[in-house]
Amino acid sequence: MIEKTLVILKPCTVQRALIGEILQRFERKGLRLAGMKMMQLTDEVLSEHYAHLSEKPFFQRVKDSMMTSPVVVCCLEGVDAIQAVRALAGPTNGRLAAPGTIRGDYSMSFQENIVHTSDSPETAALELSRFFAPEEIFHYEQATFPYLYACDEY
């Protein structure tokens, strides 16, 4: 099924000037960029976004880290995009992430791990509506589509 998912290029990625390189990973894979913008996150929106971590000792530290610079939020689309993007990102702890994954190739940290990616269809829908207005998501034909997928794959 064709899905949309949220990717956030975290402040560590912006500071390390890796925005282009990381975006290129997703583009090369064949995901369609349906929306993208730079924004400064706030404690309020991060408290919602990371609500599942609110009992963790590192909750405030993670939120603070996400506010140290603007981030780049992206909406990516493709067949089974949520799972495909999670697989490209790799597991949370960059030190344990396999080489070849984004975190495995670019991160030495549990926290400073380059990207956020939505983890389920429900979270993807909720997160996209949290960070994008409907008119900021663009529907256009991806010219390469018939070369990315067989006709029975979507």
Phi, psi of 115 (to 5 degrees): -135, 150
Decide: is 67 part of the binding site for ligand ADP (CB under 6 A): no
Residue 35, SS3 per DSSP: strand
Decide: is 92 part of the binding site for ligand ADP (CB under 6 A): yes
- Nearer to ligand ADP by Cβ, of 4 and 5: the residue is 5
| Closest approach of ligand ADP to the CB of residue 65, in Å | 7
Stretch that binds ligand ADP, among 12-20, 37-45, 105-113, 140-148 (CB under 6 A): 105-113
| Closest approach of ligand ADP to the CB of residue 23, in Å | 18
Torsion, Cα of 59, 60, 64, 65 (10° steps): -30
- Nearer to ligand ADP by Cβ, of 42 and 144: the residue is 42
Taking residues 11 to 50 in sequence order and writing x for each that binds ligand ADP by CB under 6 A, - otherwise, the string is: ----------------------------------------
The tokens of 121 are what?
């269809």
Taking residues 44 to 63 in sequence order and writing x for each that binds ligand ADP by CB under 6 A, - otherwise, the string is: ---------x----x---x-
How far apart (Å, rounded) are the C-alpha atoms in residues 146 and 154? 11
How far apart (Å, rounded) are the C-alpha atoms in residues 67 and 77? 26
Query: Which sign does the torsion angle of CA 37, 43, 48, 51 carry?
Result: positive
The tokens of 39 are what?
């924004």
| Environment class of 91 (CB within 10 Å of its CB; exposed 0-12, middle 13-18, buried 19+) | middle
Decide: is 110 part of the binding site for ligand ADP (CB under 6 A): yes
Decide: is 154 part of the binding site for ligand ADP (CB under 6 A): no
**CB neighbours (10 Å) of residue 154?**
12
Is 49 assigned a catalytic role? no
Stretch that binds ligand ADP, among 1-9, 75-83, 113-121, 138-146 (CB under 6 A): 113-121
Catalytic positions, please?
A: 116
